[in-house]
Structure 1
């Protein structure tokens, strides 16, 4: 939650680039059967799939990206591409990040809500996951334990009791500061924009993250997934929508609506939504990139002139 406010033609891939099984399965096992080839992909689609495990995941994603024609600058190599495809493969000039579970690990914050409600943290987490898996608003979790729960009122009550919602440097994912720094050094305009309260926006600014913009839904008076939120992102960035990459963990709130406004998108697999929604067909079909760590972005995007 991190202070959430209310919220061309497909071309078949050659056999050398078809989907493989990682890590290799032992002979005779079910996974040792030939892997099915992945469906055709658009040439303009920079696909970064989950194809390995552990610390090798990011490197394997980069290997797959390079095999699909992404060069060291993060651009698709243009050799042999039809002219109509080249037109949509513009370089990324701006990268804008969601907050909760993209930049901020919300485990501690949701844990404090369980404490406030007087329920075990693992019970709260189980119900939270169930609510998300059923496609409901996460706030329905609170109704299970306290029917009639008003989130705004309870936020105020917590603040008055000296236990306000909060997060800090220790709640940032380890890849956040290095990745944002690397993107800016490469010449990208970097922004943060998410469904957050005024208070959360103040905390984000106090962290002195290497960004060009920090904005919240409360600042703009509109929340995701409203398309108007992404119109604000486009208005704030120094380039057109097709040169902006929006990075988030949720298909419903981040990826689908951002893509709907013409932005390119990166779906990161972490946090409850990132894990639960990973098998949704749109997790492969809609985002421009699928990543496991923000550290993959500077490599995939590459240097840009400011």
Structure 2
């Protein structure tokens, strides 16, 4: 069945995950004192585990419990901003090529509301048919309801939609469970040491988006 729509994560796919990493590190240091080395240890261990919430792990490691998680994220969300260097140019090029090929474009991303402003600033917003930003729609991945909303709004069967993300646990697995095709992008918060199962989990596995339109067309 031919792919007629593509949904994209934002962090690690269209923009660097460094924006969130900078924001959460700064937020932690406004609540306590955290060294870059100790932060990086938790961060890397999380990437390798590909399970659970990084935000919760950081709270428990540096703030002692989850009691201040809401406060931490309120601070982080104010600083969770993409700069010009964070945008992956191959992401924009990929969106344009897929749109020109007649595909609908969706976003399924755990991001603050200001991410929409950045998409507008960089000329991506006009390419998007469904804007699924967690802070706007009220769902967070891997909640199946988030993916179901995208399927509904794109008005296509799940089998005709391909989801593109950089996490197995929050992107590939929940999309597959609903019958969507999947792409695993191995950058950003992707597991740096993937297993054979990880490498075989998605329909397409890539390290960037340069050849993705052609790979999708060949499915």
TM-score by length of 1: 0.62
Larger radius of gyration: 1
Task: Look up the match of 1:283.
Answer: 199
Task: Look up the match of 1:200.
Answer: 115
Task: Look up the match of 1:302.
Answer: 217
Q: Please state if 1:113 is matched with 2:41.
A: no
Structure 2: segments with no counterpart, 5+ residues: none
Task: Look up the match of 1:99.
Answer: 10
Task: Look up the match of 1:256.
Answer: 173
Secondary structure at the aligned position of 2:89 is classed as coil
Contact conserved, 2:19 with 2:81, CA < 8 A, in 1?
no
Counterparts of 1:39-54 in structure 2, within 5 Å, are: none
Q: Please state if 1:189 is matched with 2:104.
A: yes
Contact conserved, 1:115 with 1:121, CA < 8 A, in 2?
no
Secondary structure at the aligned position of 1:272 is classed as coil
Which structure would you say has the larger RCO, counting Cα contacts within 8 Å and 6 or more residues apart?
A: 2
112-121 vs 192-201, which moves further: 112-121
Contact conserved, 1:166 with 1:200, CA < 8 A, in 2?
yes
- Relative to its length, the structure with more helix (as a share) is 2
Secondary structure at the aligned position of 2:10 is classed as coil
**Closer/same/farther in 2, CA of residues 250 and 242 from structure 1, 3 Å limit:** same
Task: Look up the match of 2:58.
Answer: 141
Secondary structure at the aligned position of 1:257 is classed as helix
Alignment: residue pair count: 209
Distance in 2 (alpha carbons) for counterparts of 1:174 and 1:157: 29
RMSD across aligned positions (CA): 2.3
Structure 1: segments with no counterpart, 5+ residues: 1-89
Distance in 1 (alpha carbons) for counterparts of 2:183 and 2:202: 6
Counterparts of 1:192-231 in structure 2, within 5 Å, are: 192-209=107-124, 210-231=127-148
TM-score by length of 2: 0.84
